[in-house]
Amino acid sequence: MSTSLKPILLVEDNPKDLELTLIALEKSQLANEVVITRDGVDALDYLFCRGDYESRHNGNPAVILLDLKLPRLDGIEVLQVIRTTPALRSIPVVMLTSSREEADLLRSYELGVNAYVVKPVAFGEFVEAITDLGIFWAVLNEPPPGSARVARRSAQK
Amino acid sequence: MTSGHAEQAAAARDLLNACEREPIHVPGSVQPHGVLLCMDENLRIVQASESADIWLSHSADALVGRECAELLGESDMERLRTARGRADIEEAPLYIGVLTANARRFDGVLHRNDQLLYLELEPTRREQDMGFGGIYPLVRSFVSNLQSASSVDALCELAAQETKTITGFGRILVYRFDEDGHGQVLAERRDESYESCLGMLFPASDVPPQARELYLRNRVRLIADANASPSPLHPRDNPLSGAPTDLSFSGLRSVSPVHIQYMKNMDILASMSVSIIVRGRLWGLISCHNAEPRQVPFDARTACEHLGQILSLQIEANEERAQTQQRLELRRILVGLLSAIADRDDFVAGLMSSPTDLLAFAGAGGAAILFGGRCELFGDTPDEAEVLKLVGWLSAHSSNTVFSSACIDRDLPADVVPMGDTAGVMAVSISQVHRNYIVWFRPKVRRTVTWAGRPDKTATTAEPTMLSPRNSFEAWSETHTECSRPWSAGELDAALELRSAILTIVLRRAEEMAALAHELERSNRELEAFSYSVSHDLRAPLRHIVGYADLLRELEGEGLSDRGRTYLANVEESATFAGTLVDDLLTFSQMGRAALRPTQVNIRELAESVIKDLDAETAGRNVRWEFGELPVLRGDPAFLQMVMRNLLSNAVKYSRGREPAVIRIDGEDTATTHVVHVRDNGVGFNMKYVGKLFGVFQRLHRMEDFEGTGIGLANVRRIIERHDGHVWAEGETGHGAVFSFDLPKL
C-alpha cells in the first residue's frame, strides 16, 4: 500500500452495506487504504484525532464516504461539523445514501457536500458509481473544491 | 328662492337657532291667570308673582317674608303641611284641593324643586275638592272606546274627539314626530271656523330641543291667553339658591315670546299641549288651539293628562304588537333564508336561491351580495359599478357592522350616490377584512308635503314673524331631500341577525376546512415519514438482496445447476423490480409534495430530448416520429419532462412489433388551454378501462407482455393536475391510443 495515497474514510453503520461498499471499492481497484468508522461520533473522533484515534498520524483523508443515516450523529450533522471546522473544511465529502428524499439532498448541498449518491438497487451500477467517485476523489491529490454533480451517476429514472 | 328670500330664510334660521338656545324653563314670570307662591320648608313665602295683586289683593313684595298661614286658614294649612311631607311632590305637581284665600276659592297645586316649595293657585268656581269621581266620567268614554280602535290613527282620532269634549277648544290636533323630528298631523277635531291641518307637517324647529325636554317633564301645558302680559316673580331669582327660579314643573310658567308670536301667526290666542310619551321618548303631542283666550280648569287638564297617558300606553302596546308581528314575519323569512343557506356549500348560492325572501326580508326593492370578489344583484339596484363604488366608500368610512340611511343624498358624498331612484340603503358587513357585504336598496318615496300655515300669509311685521310656519317651511324645504321609507329598528336587528347567522355558518365552514387542512397536514406528515422510511429502509434490504445475489452468481455461478442459476436470476430480477417499484412510488409521492418551479417550456424541444434518451429502448426498432405544431407553455420543466418521458416511452413500448411504429406528437390551442396529444399505432386499450388508466399501479396488460410498474401514468396525471391541467386518453384495442393533456394558458 502506497503511503503517498491518503486513506478513504468510510462511515457506514449497516454491516451489509459496509461489506458491499468495500467489495465495490475493491472492484474499482483503488489503491487507497480504507478507514472504517461505524457512526458519526466515531468518524469525528477519527477526524479530530481523539479517543481511539489519539495516536494516529495526523492528516485528513482523501475523501469521506459518508452514509446519511447513522446512529448517534447522523451524516448531515457530521457534514455540518466538517464544513464549519477550518482544518477539515476542504475534505471532499460524498454522501452515500439509500434515501431518495429530496429534503436530505437539498440539505446536503446546502452544507456543501461534494457529491450525493443514492445507492442504486442494481449492484453493477453501484460498483460503477463507486469507481467513478474513487477515480475522481481518491486518486487526485488536490481535489478541487466545489460541487461534483458530474459524479452524480445515481440511477434516478 | 330669490336672494331676498334667502336672506329672510337665513334670518329665520338665526332666529330658530336663538330659539334653540332660549332658556325657556326660567322665564322669571308666570301667566297672570293664577298666582305662584314659592316657599321655604317652613312654609314662609320667599317669592311671589305680581299677579298676587289681582288675586290675593297683596303685592308680591308685601307677601315675601310672610308666613303662608297668614293667607290660608288652619285647615288649608294642615293640608299644605301634609302635602309637604309627601315624597311624590318632588318635581311633580300634586293637587291638594280647593283652598280659600282673600275670600276666593282656588285650585291649589304643590310641588318641590330646587329647594323651593311651589304653591300654584288658580281661581275656581268649584266648591268641593276635585276628586277621582270628577275625572273619571271624562275619561271613561275614551277608555271604553279604546277597545275598538285597532290602529294608531284610530286611537288618535278618539283622543282628539275626547280632548275636544273635555276642553272645548276650537281645534284639536294629534300629531306624531317622525324620525327627523317633524310633527305629522294624524288626527283632528275642529269647529267650522278653523282651518284643517290634517296630514300637514310641522317642522322640527317648531319645537326646539329644550321645549321637547319640558314636554317630557311636564305633560300638560296651558297657554290661556297669548295677549296676557306675563307676571314677573319677586324677587326675580330663587332666593335660596341664587339661581333663576326653575319653572319646569309649573303649570303657570309663562311662555316664550317666540312661541306667543308663533301662536299669533296661526291666529290662535289659547293653546294647550298634552305630551304623548312612548317608551320614555316624546312620541307626539295632543295640541289644542283656540282663537279666543281660554281657561282650562285644573281637573280638565288632569283629565287630559290621563287621557294622554292612556293614549301613550295604547300606542306603545299597538306599536309593540306591530313590531312583534313584523319581527315574527322577519324571523319567518330569516329562517327560510338560513335553511336555504344551510342546504348549500356556498351561502351566496343559498341567498340567491330565494331572491324574493332576500328582498322581502328588508322590505327592499333591490339587493346586492358582494362576497369573495363576486357581486350579485337582485331586483331594482344601481348598476354594478355604482354598487361597488358605494360599498367601497362604506368599507372605508363606516366601521359599523350595519349601515343604514333612508336619504343617501343627504348622508353620503355626492360622488358615491348612485343615479336613479335609489334613496335608501341598508348594508351589513360580513367580514372584518374583506369587502363582503349584503346591501339592500329602497326607492325614493314621493310624498306631498302640506305645510301647516297659510302659504299666502306674508310677513308684515318685524323679526318674530320670521318664525311664521310659512317661513320655517321654506327654511326646512331647503334642506329636505327625497328619502325612502325609513329602515325600522326591527329591520336593522334582523339584518344583524342574518349577518351573525351567516358568519356562524361561514365560520363553521372555515373551522371545518381548518380541521380538514389540519388533518390533511397530519396525514401528509405521516405520508412523508412513510415515504422516507420506504425510501430508506425498504430500499436497503432490496439492494442487499440484489448485491449479494450478484456476488453469489459471480462467486458460485459456475458451480450451480442451470435451475439454480435461474432461481438466482429470479431472485435478482424480483428484488430489482421491487426496488424500481419503491423508487417509482416515491417519485409519485414526491410529485404531490415537491414545489413547482415554472418557466417557459418548449414542448417540441422537450420531446426531442426525451426521444434522444429513449435511444436504448428504440434501438433496433423501426419507429417513425412525427411532429405537429407544438406549444411553448409555462410549467415546471423537470416535471413536464417526466410527463413526456412517460407518454413517449409508453408509446414506444406499446407499439412494439408494429412495422413501422408511428408516434405522433401534436398540439392544439383552445381559448384557455394548450393541448398536447401523443398518438401511437400500438396495441391500444379497451375504452371500458379508461377510468383505470391513470390510477396508481393500474395495469391493462400482462407483466410478461409489457414491463413496468404501472405508476407512470399516475405520475403523469398527478403532475398535470398540479399544473391545473387535465389528462385523458382514447384508445381501441389493437388500433393504437392517443394520450392527451392540457395546461391552462397563463
Helical spans, DSSP H, in chain A? 15-27, 40-47, 75-83, 102-110, 123-133
CATH H superfamily, domain B343-445: PHY domain (3.30.450.270)
Give the pLDDT band of residue B469 (cuts 50, 70, 90).
very low
Count the Cβ atoms, other than its own, within 10 Å of residue B528: 15
Dist CA B739 CA A1 (whole Å): 59
b/e per residue A85-110 (b: at least 16 CB within 10 A): eeebeebbbbbbbbbbbeebbebbee
In sequence order, what DSSP letters do the residues of B544-610 get, joined into one string? Answer: HHHHHHHHHHHHHGGGS-HHHHHHHHHHHHHHHHHHHHHHHHHHHHHHHHSPP--EEEEHHHHHHHH
Any CB–CB contact under 8 A between A131 and chain B? no
Listed residue (A114, A109, A119) closest to A148, CA to CA = A114
Mean pLDDT value of segment B702-715? 75
Provide the shortest C-alpha distance from residue B534 to chain A (in Å).
9
Listed residue (B49, B119, B31) closest to B79, CA to CA = B119
| B537 contacts in chain A (CB < 8 Å) | 98
Mutation for testing the A interface, residue in B524, B542, B550, B554 having most A CBs under 10 Å = B550
Q: Are the CB atoms for B244 and B285 separated by under 8 Å?
A: no
- For residue B51, how far is the Cα from the chain centroid? 57
Q: Are the CB atoms for A66 and A96 separated by under 8 Å?
A: yes
C-alpha cell, B88: 311624590
At B744, which helix (H) or strand (E)? strand B737-744
Dist CA B473 CA B201 (whole Å): 9
Q: Are the CB atoms for B560 and B568 separated by under 8 Å?
A: yes
Give the pLDDT band of residue B520 (cuts 50, 70, 90).
confident
Any CB–CB contact under 8 A between A125 and chain B? no
Provide the shortest C-alpha distance from residue A74 to chain B (in Å).
14
pLDDT in tens, B228-285: 999 999 998 888 888 999 998 998 999 888 888 888 888 899 999 999 999 889 999 9
Mutation for testing the B interface, residue in A12, A100, A119, A125 having most B CBs under 10 Å = A100
* A97/B540 touch (CB, cutoff 8 Å), yes or no: no
In 3-state terms, what secondary structure has residue B500?
helix
| A17 contacts in chain B (CB < 8 Å) | 540, 543-544
Q: How confident is the model at residue B178, as a pLDDT?
A: 81
In 3-state terms, what secondary structure has residue B662?
strand
State which of A107-116, B529-538, B586-595 shows the largest mean pLDDT.
A107-116
Dist CA B476 CA B469 (whole Å): 10
Residues 6 or more apart from B474 whose CB is under 8 A from it? B1, B5, B8, B9, B12
- Range with the poorest average pLDDT among B106-120, B520-534, B603-617, B730-744: B520-534
pLDDT at B629 over 70: yes
Domains and CATH numbers, chain A: 2-156 (3.40.50.2300)
* B547/A98 touch (CB, cutoff 8 Å), yes or no: no
Mean confidence (pLDDT) of chain B:
84
In 3-state terms, what secondary structure has residue B36?
strand
| A69 contacts in chain B (CB < 8 Å) | 536
Give the pLDDT band of residue B15 (cuts 50, 70, 90).
low
- B591 to chain A: nearest residue by CA? A102
Residues 6 or more apart from B618 whose CB is under 8 A from it? B611, B652
The domains of chain B are located at 1-26+135-228+249-342+446-480, 31-123, 343-445, 519-591, 599-744
| A99 contacts in chain B (CB < 8 Å) | 532, 535-536, 539
Provide the shortest C-alpha distance from residue B560 to chain A (in Å).
20
- A156 to chain B: nearest residue by CA? B583
In 3-state terms, what secondary structure has residue B707?
coil
Helical spans, DSSP H, in B85-206? 132-146, 152-167
* A121/B580 touch (CB, cutoff 8 Å), yes or no: yes
Backbone angles phi, psi at B398, to 5 degrees: -125, 115
Q: Are the CB atoms for A91 and A36 separated by under 8 Å?
A: no
Helices and strands in chain A, H and E counts: 5, 5
Any CB–CB contact under 8 A between A26 and chain B? no
pTM beyond 0.75: the answer is: no
Any CB–CB contact under 8 A between B386 and chain A? no
Provide the shortest C-alpha distance from residue B523 to chain A (in Å).
18
Any CB–CB contact under 8 A between B585 and chain A? no
Selected residue with higher pLDDT from B525 and B129: B525
* A123/B536 touch (CB, cutoff 8 Å), yes or no: no
| B532 contacts in chain A (CB < 8 Å) | 99, 101
Dist CA B155 CA B146 (whole Å): 7
Q: How confident is the model at residue A142, as a pLDDT?
A: 47
Any CB–CB contact under 8 A between A27 and chain B? no
Dist CA B579 CA B538 (whole Å): 8
Which among B543, B548, B549 has the least Cβ separation from residue A98?
A: B543
pLDDT in tens, A70-108: 887 889 999 999 999 998 998 999 998 887 777 788 888
pLDDT at B472 over 80: no
User: How many CB pairs below 8 Å do chains A and B form together?
Assistant: 64
pLDDT in tens, B77-111: 999 999 998 888 888 888 888 999 988 999 999 99
CA atoms lying within 13 Å on the CB side of residue B632: 4
* A123/B594 touch (CB, cutoff 8 Å), yes or no: no
Q: Are the CB atoms for B236 and B26 separated by under 8 Å?
A: no
Selected residue with higher pLDDT from A37 and B350: A37
In 3-state terms, what secondary structure has residue A147?
coil
Q: Which letter does DSSP use for residue B67 in this model?
A: B
- A68 to chain B: nearest residue by CA? B536
Q: Collect contacts of B364-368 with beta carbons under 8 A, ≥24 apart.
A: B364/B424, B364/B426, B364/B440, B364/B441, B364/B442, B365/B441, B365/B442, B365/B443, B366/B422, B366/B440, B366/B441, B367/B438, B367/B439, B367/B440, B367/B441, B368/B437, B368/B438, B368/B439, B368/B441
Q: How confident is the model at residue B665, as a pLDDT?
A: 94
| A16 contacts in chain B (CB < 8 Å) | 540, 544, 547-548
Please name the amino acid found at residue B494.
Answer: A
Q: Collect contacts of B144-147 with beta carbons under 8 A, ≥24 apart.
A: B146/B310, B146/B314
* Angular region, B734: left φ>0, alpha ψ -120 to 50, beta rest: left
Listed residue (B279, B283, B263) closest to B222, CA to CA = B263
Dist CA B718 CA A106 (whole Å): 23
Dist CA B56 CA B106 (whole Å): 10
End-to-end CA distance of chain B: 62
Which among A17, A23, A123 has the least Cβ separation from residue B546?
A: A123
Q: B118 pairs with which residues across the strands?
A: B38, B111
3 state SS for B567-584: HHHHHHHHHHHHHHHHHH
* A121/B544 touch (CB, cutoff 8 Å), yes or no: no
Provide the shortest C-alpha distance from residue B518 to chain A (in Å).
22
Provide the shortest C-alpha distance from residue B641 to chain A (in Å).
12
b/e per residue B336-368 (b: at least 16 CB within 10 A): bbbebbeeeeebbebbeebeebbbbbbbbbbbb
Dihedral, CA of residue A123, residue A129, residue A131 and residue A134, to nearest 10? -130
Dihedral, CA of residue A38, residue A40, residue A42 and residue A43, to nearest 10? 90
Q: Are the CB atoms for B613 and B701 separated by under 8 Å?
A: no
Dist CA B93 CA B83 (whole Å): 10
Residue with cell 382514447: B730
- For residue B556, how far is the Cα from the chain centroid? 89
Mean pLDDT value of segment B25-38? 92
| A127 contacts in chain B (CB < 8 Å) | none
Q: How confident is the model at residue B39, as a pLDDT?
A: 94
Pick the CATH number of B31-123 from 3.30.70.20, 3.30.450.20, 3.40.50.1220, 1.10.10.10: 3.30.450.20
| B546 contacts in chain A (CB < 8 Å) | 121-123
Strands (E), A55-92: 63-67
Dist CA A95 CA A89 (whole Å): 15
pLDDT in tens, B302-326: 889 889 999 999 888 888 888 888 8
Which among A14, A97, A100 has the least Cβ separation from residue B586?
A: A100
Mutation for testing the A interface, residue in B554, B571, B577, B583 having most A CBs under 10 Å = B583
Domains B1-26+135-228+249-342+446-480 and B31-123 share a fold: yes
Q: How confident is the model at residue B626, as a pLDDT?
A: 94
* A102/B543 touch (CB, cutoff 8 Å), yes or no: no
Mean pLDDT value of segment B478-501? 79
Any CB–CB contact under 8 A between A15 and chain B? no
| A101 contacts in chain B (CB < 8 Å) | 531-532, 535-536
- For residue B459, how far is the Cα from the chain centroid? 46
| A13 contacts in chain B (CB < 8 Å) | none
Q: How confident is the model at residue B686, as a pLDDT?
A: 85
Q: How confident is the model at residue A79, as a pLDDT?
A: 93
Mutation for testing the A interface, residue in B534, B538, B544 having most A CBs under 10 Å = B544
| A102 contacts in chain B (CB < 8 Å) | 590, 594
Mean pLDDT value of segment B727-735? 90
Residues in chain A, total: 157
Which among B535, B549, B575 has the least Cβ separation from residue A101?
A: B535
Dist CA B445 CA B486 (whole Å): 10
- A100 to chain B: nearest residue by CA? B535
- Range with the poorest average pLDDT among A68-72, B70-74, B566-570, B604-608: A68-72
Q: Which overall architecture, per CATH, does domain B599-744 show? A: 2-Layer Sandwich (3.30)
Any CB–CB contact under 8 A between A50 and chain B? no
Strands (E), B310-373: 366-371
| A120 contacts in chain B (CB < 8 Å) | 543
In sequence order, what DSSP letters do the residues of B177-206 get, joined into one string? Answer: E-TTS-EEEEEEEE-TTSPP-TTEEE-GGG
Backbone angles phi, psi at A116, to 5 degrees: -130, 115
Q: Which CATH class is domain B1-26+135-228+249-342+446-480?
A: alpha beta
- Range with the poorest average pLDDT among B19-23, B115-119, B536-540: B19-23
Provide the shortest C-alpha distance from residue A80 to chain B (in Å).
21
| B590 contacts in chain A (CB < 8 Å) | 102
| B535 contacts in chain A (CB < 8 Å) | 98-101
Dist CA B138 CA B164 (whole Å): 11
Q: Are the CB atoms for B516 and B450 separated by under 8 Å?
A: no
Which parts of chain A have pLDDT scores under 70? 1-4, 138-157
